[in-house]
Chain A
Amino acid sequence: MSPDIAQLEKTASQVRRDILRQVHGAKSGHPGGSLGCADVLTALYFRVMQHNPDFKMEGKNEDVFFLSNGHISPVMYSILARAGYFPVKELSTFRKLNTRLQGHPTTHDHLPGIRIASGSLGQGMSVACGAAFSKRMNGDKNLVFSLHGDGELQEGQIWESAQFAAHHKLDNLISIVDWNLQQIDGPTEKVMANGDLEAKFKAFGWSVVQMNGNDMFDVVSTLERCKENVGDGKPQMILMKTTMGFGVDFMMHDHSWHGIAPNDEQLANALAQLPETLGDY
Chain B
Amino acid sequence: MVRQAHHDSHPEPVERFLNYKNNTKMKVTDIQKIDERETRGGFGDGLHELGKMNPNVVALTADLAGSLKMNAFIKDFPERFVQCGIAEANMMGVAAGLTIGGKIPFTGTFANFSTGRVYDQIRQSIAYSNKNVKVCASHAGLTLGEDGATHQILEDIGLMRMLPNMTVIVPADYNQTKAATIAIADYKGPVYLRFGRPKCANFTTQKFEIGTAQILCEGTDVTIIACGHLVWKAIEAGKILAEQNVSVEIINMHTIKPFDSEAVLKSVAKTKCVVTAEEHQRNGGLGDAVAQVLAINNPTPMEMIAVNDSFGESGTPEELMQKYGLDTPQIVSAALKVIARKN
What per-residue 1/0 map shows which CB atoms of B65-103 lie under 8 Å from chain A?
000000000000001101011010111111111111111
**Is B125's beta carbon under 8 Å from chain A?**
yes
Chain B interface residue number, banded:
20 to 34
- A115 adjacent to B101 (CB under 8 Å): no
**Is B129's beta carbon under 8 Å from chain A?**
yes
Interface residue ranges of B110-146 to A (CB < 8 Å)? 120-121, 123-125, 128-131
**Is A5's beta carbon under 8 Å from chain B?**
no
What per-residue 1/0 map shows which CB atoms of A167-179 lie under 8 Å from chain B?
1100000000000
**Is A130's beta carbon under 8 Å from chain B?**
yes
**Is A93's beta carbon under 8 Å from chain B?**
no
- A120 adjacent to B124 (CB under 8 Å): yes
Complex CA–CA separation, A137 to B125 (angstroms): 21
**Is B58's beta carbon under 8 Å from chain A?**
yes
Complex CA–CA separation, A124 to B79 (angstroms): 24
Given known A-B contacts A107-B129, A117-B125, A137-B80, A129 and B97 have beta carbons under 8 A apart: yes
**Is A140's beta carbon under 8 Å from chain B?**
yes
Given known A-B contacts A160-B90, A164-B87, A131 and B97 have beta carbons under 8 A apart: yes
- B101 adjacent to A125 (CB under 8 Å): no
Contact check: which of B80, B100, B121 meets A115 at CB < 8 Å? B100
Given known A-B contacts A123-B121, A123-B124, A131 and B90 have beta carbons under 8 A apart: no
A105 to chain B, nearest CB (A): 10
- A117 adjacent to B128 (CB under 8 Å): yes
- A130 adjacent to B129 (CB under 8 Å): no
B131 to chain A, nearest CB (A): 8
Closest to B82 in A: A133
Chain B residues near A164 (CB-CB < 8 A): 84-85, 87, 90, 94
**Is A64's beta carbon under 8 Å from chain B?**
yes
- B100 adjacent to A134 (CB under 8 Å): yes
- B94 adjacent to A129 (CB under 8 Å): yes
Interface residue ranges of A85-123 to B (CB < 8 Å)? 106-108, 115-120, 122-123
- B87 adjacent to A163 (CB under 8 Å): yes
Complex CA–CA separation, A127 to B122 (angstroms): 12
Chain B residues near A73 (CB-CB < 8 A): none
Q: A residues near B, CB below 8 A?
A: 57-60, 64, 66, 106-108, 115-120, 122-135, 137-138, 140, 156-157, 160-161, 163-164, 167-168
In the complex, 23 of the A-B residue pairs with CB atoms within 8 angstroms, ordered by the A residue number, are: A58-B102, A60-B102, A116-B97, A116-B129, A117-B128, A126-B89, A126-B91, A126-B92, A126-B94, A126-B125, A129-B90, A129-B93, A129-B97, A130-B100, A131-B97, A131-B98, A133-B82, A134-B98, A134-B99, A134-B101, A161-B90, A161-B94, A168-B82
The 10 closest A-B pairs by CB, nearest first: A130-B97, A126-B93, A134-B101, A160-B90, A160-B87, A130-B94, A127-B97, A131-B97, A130-B98, A157-B89
Given contacts A126-B91, A130-B95, A161-B94, list 5 more A-B pairs with CB under 8 A.
A116-B97, A127-B94, A129-B93, A130-B98, A157-B90
Q: B residues near A, CB below 8 A?
A: 58, 79-80, 82, 84-85, 87, 89-103, 105, 120-121, 123-125, 128-131
